[in-house]
Amino acid sequence: MSSTEQWQVENEKGMRLYQQGHYHTAEQTLRVALHEAEQFGPTDTRVAVVLNNLASLCHNQRKLTEAETLYLRALAIRSEAYGPDHRMVAQSLNNLASLYRELGKYQEAEAFLLRAVAIAEAVVGPHHWGITNCVNNLAAVYTAQARYAEAETLFQRSLAIRQRFFGSHNLAVATTLSGLAELAVAQEKYTEAEPLFRQALAIREEQLGSHHPGVALLLEKYATLMRKTDRTTEATDLEARAQAIHVQQSQTSPGGGGEET
């Protein structure tokens, strides 16, 4: 099989493994895909595709320094190849901003996301599902900055678009519901947060299965809410479920594990 085909085969295989929660095997496969893509030259746009996917996986494995390096390489390639206003540049800006939010670099994250939203709106329009990743992440930045009214507006905008395009049981909808739940927790609106977490968890379990790392992440967030409301027994049960998923992940994917963002 030629490199022309091999990089794509390995990239697609790696992404399937990633989505299934097999992080360690996915990482190995994506590194093979990156090697194959680099045969076309270090600045080929196919390299950027794999860099972005591998960066996302490293991000979810909490390998944040490597994730940043990979995201930045992808952004540089795309900016040079496509120009500053291309949708693939917006994707890279969005992904970097998500990482910077977790690192507490809120000003950088906001600047990147405002650029990404502007690009996405220019490409697909302000009511298309293609803008919602950027909108959702900007809402999360505003939550972290205690800009709650702005965060609420953006989360509700994202939720409405995603439900309209995907229906109510989609994983993207679950992500927005989780964001709204975290926004409610940040404002100590605990009775509002619980049904949002429950709904998001139900969607992830339905779509991913009950042993996926993405389910574990939500269980941990839900457990935090339980502890804030002095429901220690329920919190402990949720944490135990999450830990069991992490243990299973480490056993089936040696050296892997980690959480989704």
Domain region containing 36:
1-83
202-259 per-position pLDDT tens digit: 999 999 999 999 999 999 999 999 999 999 999 999 999 999 998 887 765 433 333 3
C-beta contacts of 184-189 below 8 A and 24+ residues apart: 185/224, 185/225, 185/228, 186/143, 186/146, 186/148, 187/148
Higher pLDDT, 253 or 85: 85
Task: Note whether 196 and 222 are same-domain residues.
Answer: yes
The CATH number of the domain holding residue 37 is 1.25.40.10
Q: What is the pTM of this model?
A: 0.87
Q: Is residue 162 part of a domain?
A: no
Task: Note whether 59 and 100 are same-domain residues.
Answer: no
**What pLDDT is stored for residue 251 in this prediction?**
65
Which of 83, 108, 137 terminates a domain? The answer is 83
Q: Is residue 161 part of a domain?
A: no
Q: Is residue 218 part of a domain?
A: yes
Across the chain, what does the average pLDDT equal?
93
Task: Note whether 192 and 249 are same-domain residues.
Answer: yes
Which of 147, 180, 200 terminates a domain? The answer is 147
**What pLDDT is stored for residue 246 in this prediction?**
86
Q: How many domains does the chain have?
A: 3
Q: At what angle do helices 3-19 and 23-37 cross, to 10 degrees?
A: 160
149-161 per-position pLDDT tens digit: 999 999 999 999 9
Task: Note whether 128 and 177 are same-domain residues.
Answer: no
Across 20-44, average pLDDT: 95
